Amino acid sequence: MATIRLRRIITASAVTVALAATMASPALAAGIRVEGPKATIYQGTVRPAMGSLRDNTGAVHTTTKRTALGALVRASRVKPFPLKLGWFDTFGGGWTGFYLLSINRITPPDTAGWFTKVNQKLLGVGSGAKTVGPGDRVLVYYSTFDSEFATNPTLGIGASDRTPTVGEKVTIDVAQFNDLGTRSAAANAWVWVNGVGTKTDATGHATIRLGKPGRYAVRATKQGTIRSRTVWVRASTS
């Protein structure tokens, strides 16, 4: 009887700890998306990793901060996908000296690179130096750059209604952001709804109507830019 009671106490304690961890997670989570040259590698919400990481020489570096790099590291462990990091000694301790060599076995040529934005603004420091928290959106993307080292604009997307009724008009708003995070309308972008495309107007808007109940993946692309995240719209009959 005592053994059964002890098991019940242990089980109850474990459930309490699990619930506490679950409740705490949103307060520590950050959005992370990884865009390769041809496809999205990862999109989700993660709790940024901390602790020790090895660089490409095998040296170990440790941090106690939750960073944009930590979000990428966590995403690479969740999916998983391979991640290779280099190190600059001149940027200090923690994870501040890390830089991206390859993601998912994609190593850029000299005319391109892996770049990181937080909330659509290109980082002026290494991603291991940028702390992130709840509500932050980390974007790691493959891009070429011009003679002034500007990367390709990144697309953002929004929907006027995520839970419309069947046949109801939904307005999709597509914007593009430069390295400074300056927003402008993404005219003539393609809005894709489960693979079917509609072009945006001069203001970056497109109107869609969903013909039957279901969950629809909506994203945007445009020549010379980085594709948007996927947003999900669920249509119902009432």
pLDDT tens digits, residue range 6-26?
333 223 333 332 323 333 356
Task: Indicate the domain borders of the chain.
Answer: 28-144, 154-235
Quick: pLDDT tens for 153-175: 999 999 999 999 999 999 999 99
Strand order in the sheet with 112-118: 40-46, 30-35, 137-144, 112-118, 121-122
Fold of 154-235: Immunoglobulin-like (2.60.40)
Helices (H) and strands (E) in the chain, counts: 2, 17
Fold of 28-144: Ferric Hydroxamate Uptake Protein; Chain A, domain 1 (2.170.130)
Please give the model's pTM, rounded to 2 decimal places. Answer: 0.87
Integer Cα distance of 226 and 153 in angstroms: 6
Residue with the bigger pLDDT between 238 and 77: it is 77
Integer Cα distance of 71 and 31 in angstroms: 8
Quick: pLDDT tens for 25-59: 566 799 999 999 999 999 999 999 999 999 999 99
pLDDT class of 189 with cuts at 50, 70, 90: very high
Q: Is the pLDDT of residue 91 over 90?
A: no
Q: What local confidence, expressed as pLDDT, does residue 15 receive?
A: 30
